[in-house]
Amino acid sequence: MVAADAADSVGLVTPQRAEFPEGLTLACGRRLTGFELVYETYGELNADASNAVLVCHALSGHHHAAGYHSEDDRKPGWWDTCIGPGKAIDTRHFFVVSLNNLGGCHGSTGPLSIDPDTGAEYGPDFPPLRARDWVHSQAMLADRLGIECWAAVIGGSLGGMQAMRWALEYPDRVRHCVVIAAATKLSAQNIAFNEIARQAITSDPAFHGGRYRQQDTVPRDGLAIARMVGHITYLSDDAMADRFGRDLRSGNFELGSDEGVEFQVQSYLRHQGSTFSESFDANTYILMTRALDYFDLAREYGDDPARAFAEAKASFLVLSFSTDWRFSPARSREIVDALLAAGKSVSYAEIEADQGHDAFLLPIPRYLDVFGAYMQRVRNT
């Protein structure tokens, strides 16, 4: 039996495409004259369109969140742990929509697309994006799919930030908001790591000011280093110690041996970096990290997240992971406290997990239980 046939898998899925020739004016003031979004759906939309759930992806995510594209796929979508029949987001009850965000490099309009105004690829000239641009484009997709109000908007990390922005921008279109391992804004440390990633990319000689495709090259090394830095921040010290320790992949420390040594963690990181550099666009990475850096939920609400949340009508579930140091539990508690101060309906759980920020993608029993319990409530209300 292939994995796609498993009872808890959504099985084989086919990406779909929606065109929006009407365009969109972005937060930066520039206008996309037309754009496309690529998306997948799992489950069936019910007659009154009340069971729709939007899944927002994080920095390097895309529309393929669950199931398989072909029988030969080795891995399912990035959040297959949580989406499927009988899973936390149960596709027997929910109609799940997952899209590649605007500016992405997996099929939606982004730096790799042709700018209709110039007839050339956008490349580094793609307009800067904010989380709210994603939210507005997602709302246009919801209109297209006949979804007036989401039963829930759900996301981890940068996806959680989009979910919160949804609750403020479209309070009448979100009944529940699930915010996992996120924050109301990035810390200086977060921005610093993103800056290292961008510097790694832009200082790669193959970057060519972002016009690498015209030179028929790709800033692979820079992109790989960017991913390596990012990846370290997704794992915890303990997780790396458990998984790699100081184990050697090659070489030894014997006296008299001048053979070089390679630690397992080095080879793992390099593998992560090189795989990523083959599949991700450098301009998109820069664009996405900038959108993350700019995100500040409360900026136009007097820097008071409680005032920001006063706009929201949704009920919230906030989840964090004990060893996540990228968006630590303290950052999630800030979200919870702001929601409490705003008098909103909120539940919060801090999941004990060794895996750091990446935990939100992993099958941690307590995480799946509490997430599933809340989704049960989403079904009932």
In the residue annotation, 324 being an active-site residue is answered as yes
* Cβ atoms 59, 288 nearer than 8 A: yes
Piece of the chain touching other proteins by CB under 8 A; list 23-31, 77-85, 353-361, 365-373: 365-373
In angstroms, the CA 210 to CA 220 distance is 12
* Cβ atoms 135, 169 nearer than 8 A: yes
Among 16, 266, 274, 345, binds other proteins (CB under 8 A): 345
Q: Which of 60, 137, 157, 332 is catalytic?
A: 157
In angstroms, the CA 217 to CA 190 distance is 29
In angstroms, the CA 356 to CA 235 distance is 5
Q: Does 298 engage in binding with other proteins (CB under 8 A)?
A: no
Q: Is 22 exposed, middle or buried (0-12, 13-18, 19+ CB in 10 A)?
A: exposed
- Taking the least distance from each CB to other proteins, the nearer of 293 and 337 is 337
In the residue annotation, 157 being an active-site residue is answered as yes
Q: Does 304 engage in binding with other proteins (CB under 8 A)?
A: no
Report which of 202, 31, 36 is spatially closest to residue 124, judged by C-alpha positions. Answer: 202
Structure token digits, residue 221: 């090394």
- Taking the least distance from each CB to other proteins, the nearer of 281 and 350 is 350
- Interface with other proteins in residues 310-339 (CB under 8 A): 315, 317, 333, 336-337
CB of 54 to other proteins, least distance (A): 21
Q: Which of 90, 204, 296, 324 is catalytic?
A: 324
* Cβ atoms 148, 83 nearer than 8 A: no
* Cβ atoms 66, 83 nearer than 8 A: yes
- Taking the least distance from each CB to other proteins, the nearer of 270 and 333 is 333
Q: Does 348 engage in binding with other proteins (CB under 8 A)?
A: yes
For residues 150 to 169, the per-residue mask of contacts with other proteins, x marking binding by CB under 8 A and - elsewhere, is --------------------
Measured over the CA atoms of residue 209, residue 269, residue 104 and residue 4, the dihedral's sign is positive
Piece of the chain touching other proteins by CB under 8 A; list 139-147, 209-217, 248-256, 347-355: 347-355
Residues that bind other proteins (CB under 8 A): 315, 317, 333, 336-337, 340-341, 345-350, 352, 366, 369-370, 373-374, 376-377, 380-381
